[in-house]
Structure 1
Amino acid sequence: MTLLLIATGGTMAHRSSSVATGRELLELAGPAPVRVVVEDVLAEPSWDTSVSTQLALARRVRKALAEDEFTAVVVTHGVDTLEETAFLTDLLAGRARGGIVFTGALRALSAADPDGPANLAAALTAAADPALRGAGAVVCLGDELHAARFAALTDGFSSAPHPMLGRLVDGRVRLTSAPPPRPPVADGAPETDVALLKTYPDMPPALLTTVTDLGAQGVVLEGTGAGNVPVELFGTIMELSQMDIPVVVASRAHTTDIGLAERMGAIGAAGLSPQKARMALMVALGAGGGVKAATRYFSGLRN
């Protein structure tokens, strides 16, 4: 059994005057449960991670499991956008059976009590456990395991309002809930030009047409807890839908309802957070197809 460790820097690797390599992090984490091959990937700071980097990581994970015969993959990642990259990886992983675990750190390696080495040790142990094979991408911090679909950065990571996937107990994975259903298989290269806009009362509709005029092939709107968006946007949502530019509405409270916007042609985000809905819309538009393809893909995510 061989595991691939992809190290991208982030807080976990930050020292006062340098950045630890993946090999150095592995040594600090202590003895690994299986053989580990390390790859260092040059990446931007997590708060500014580019879509191209996120796609490169997702594709490397998929290739490692599907073609390179690795049993599992662990990715170290800055926590700011870890949940988005982990979910994109989940969407592109297809039916890969290997364990996929993302981990990071809240405190730098130069801190008096860095949490990175322990988090990496836990992630390696979790990835090597057969319980996570076929479960999709998982986020591991401390001894907690969160499905990438639900993981959200708080003061650590949380799956709320969904149950946590599981935890590590005595060096073994103990699942406390079932993994979410696997997403529809992705077709084609994801469309990277998808906009995300937070709605607010009296929001001018021109904001929607501005991003599409600049090239956005789809738009995700963050609505209220009940999934509503300002009525001023209804006409523009309808116009964009008729132009075959999908508009997805995601509730800030992760509810599945999107209110009256659905009658205007908007697509519900299947309970995804706005930032993850953007990842899903990118994948949905990979093979073209516009509104119809996006509607079909998000419908598949609800199953």
Structure 2
Amino acid sequence: MLLLATGDLIAYSYAPGRPGFSSGAELLRALPPGAIAADVVVEDVMAEPSWDMSTSTMLDLARRARSAVLERGFDGVVITHGTDTLEETAYLVDLLAGRAAERGTIALTGATRSLDELSPDGPRNLASSITAAADGALRGAGAVVCVNDEIHAARWVTKVDATSVAAFSSGTFPVLGRVVGGRVEPLSAPPPRPPAFVGDPASDVALIKTYPGIGPASLTAVVDAGAQGVVLEGTGLGNVPVELFTTIAELTEWGIPVVVASRCRTHATPLDELRLGAGLAARVGAIGARGLAPSKARYALMVALGTGGIDAVRDWFGRL
């Protein structure tokens, strides 16, 4: 088992006179005897705070995790991470896992409370994540998030509470399982695996939240600044203001994909298969996010752009 430790709150103590981060090895040593379900090799990874995590760091973690399973022979990987962008990193890791998802489990975890708070959640989350990554019951599930003894699919998980130890939820989707008594108790099937990735993900994809009265300049500005693709956060089933339709059509003609996601939980129905009204953006070239949250649709578009031009992106999302 490989532990990639990135610091953040799960490893931090505010104790007077000795504030600072614990290394991955120190986190393991602090666990009670018998709490670790596998032999663990630790690698500390220099990383920004989760709320300021760069895409390059996320990509590095994804590549390290995949390489650990495919090239270095580890049975599983645990990544400790801050909770602010945990779901984004988890999904990017999942998208880039490839064949590693068939050979091992990659579990990400974090903490809402620091090490020196009363009843810190980090130690238990770490122990449970090691159990989850070591248990063959999750083989094939890809990247998961393990917190509060619950195991969430990277595609579905969302942070819903900034202060509770029950900070994450899969919403209308079921949790994959729970860690009970030092083993994984499976509860539901994981989502379908994402399409294979080809090439390197695009480095610049913009995410724009739409609102009543938004103008086309919001889209053209990010493209003029170098964005290779745009994700729009719409409402309902994926509705965006009509004022954007002409610009969506123009960007599509220029080979710049525009993906429409929703701020709501939606199913993976293709945008062009929605009833008249909800699927209007598809008629001018927009691509549906297939139920992904807007932030995750951004990383999906980055990966899809590695497969080729706008037609390849459309096909990739069609198989998501």
When normalised by structure 1's length, the TM-score is 0.96
- 1:107 equivalent among 113, 120, 126: 113
Aligned counterpart, 2:76: 72
Partner of 1:7: 5
One-letter amino acid matched to 2:130: L
Asked if the contact 2:37–2:182 (Cα under 8 Å) also holds between the matched residues in 1, the reply is no
1:33 to 27, 31, 37: 37
Counterpart residue number, 2:300: 280
- SS of the residue 1:35 aligns to: coil
Name the counterpart of 1:24: 26
Q: Of 287, 290, 311, which aligns to 1:292?
A: 311
- Asked whether the equivalents of residues 307 and 313 of structure 2 are also in contact (C-alpha less than 8 Å), the reply is no
Deviation at 1:113, TM superposition (A): 1.9
Please say if 1:226 is aligned against 2:237.
Answer: yes
Provide the residue aligned with 1:44 in structure 2: 48
For 1:49 and 1:192, locate their aligned partners in 2 and report how far apart those are by CA, in whole Å. Answer: 14
Query: Structure 1 residue aligned with 2:185, among 162, 174, 189?
Result: 174
**How many Å apart are 1:68 and its aligned residue?**
0.3
Measured against aligned partners, the alpha-carbon deviations of 1:60-103 in whole angstroms (never above 9, x if no partner) come to: 00000000000000000000000000000000000212011000
Instruction: Note the C-alpha offset of 1:267.
Output: 0.1
Deviation of 1:192 after TM superposition, in Å, equals: 1.5
Superposed displacement of residue 134, structure 1? 1.5
Q: Secondary structure at the match of 1:74?
A: strand
- The 1-side partners of 2:25 and 2:145 are apart by 21
Distance in 1 (alpha carbons) for counterparts of 2:244 and 2:265: 21
Supply the distance in 1 between the matched residues of 2:65 and 2:158 (Cα, whole angstroms): 21
Deviations 1:248-298 (A, max 9, x none): 000111324552101010000010000000010000001332x21211111
Is 2:81–2:109's contact at 8 Å kept on the other side of the alignment?
yes
Report 1:114-263 matches (<5 A): 114-155=120-161, 156-255=167-266, 256=269, 257=271, 259-263=279-283
Between 192-201 and 250-259, the greater mean CA deviation after superposition: 250-259
1:63 counterpart = 2:67: yes
In structure 1, runs of 5+ residues without a counterpart are none
SS at structure 2 position matched to 1:139 = strand
Deviations 1:142-173 (A, max 9, x none): 11000000010012110112111111122211
Distance in 2 (CA, whole Å) between partners of 1:59 and 1:293 is 23
> How far has the Cα of 1:34 moved from its partner?
1.2
Give the secondary-structure state (helix, strand or coil) at the position aligned to 2:113.
coil
Structure 2: give runs of 5+ residues left out of the alignment: 162-166, 272-277
Q: Which amino acid aligns with 1:19?
A: F
- The 1-side partners of 2:197 and 2:28 are apart by 33
2:104 corresponds to which of 83, 95, 98: 98
Task: Name 2:164's counterpart in structure 1.
Answer: none
Q: Distance in 2 between matches of 1:105 and 1:7?
A: 13
Contact 2:70-2:99 at 8 Å conserved across structures:
no
Any runs of at least 4 consecutive aligned residues in structure 1 with deviations exceeding 4 A, and if so which?
A: none
Residues in 2 aligned to 1:300 and 1:182: alpha-carbon distance in whole angstroms: 10
CA distance in 2, matches of 1:71, 1:168: 18
- Give the distance between the partners of 2:260 and 2:186, measured in 1 at CA: 31
CA RMSD of aligned residues (A): 1.0
Q: Following the alignment from structure 2 to structure 1, what is the Cα–Cα distance between the partners of residues 31 and 290?
A: 38
Q: Distance in 1 between matches of 2:99 and 2:66?
A: 10
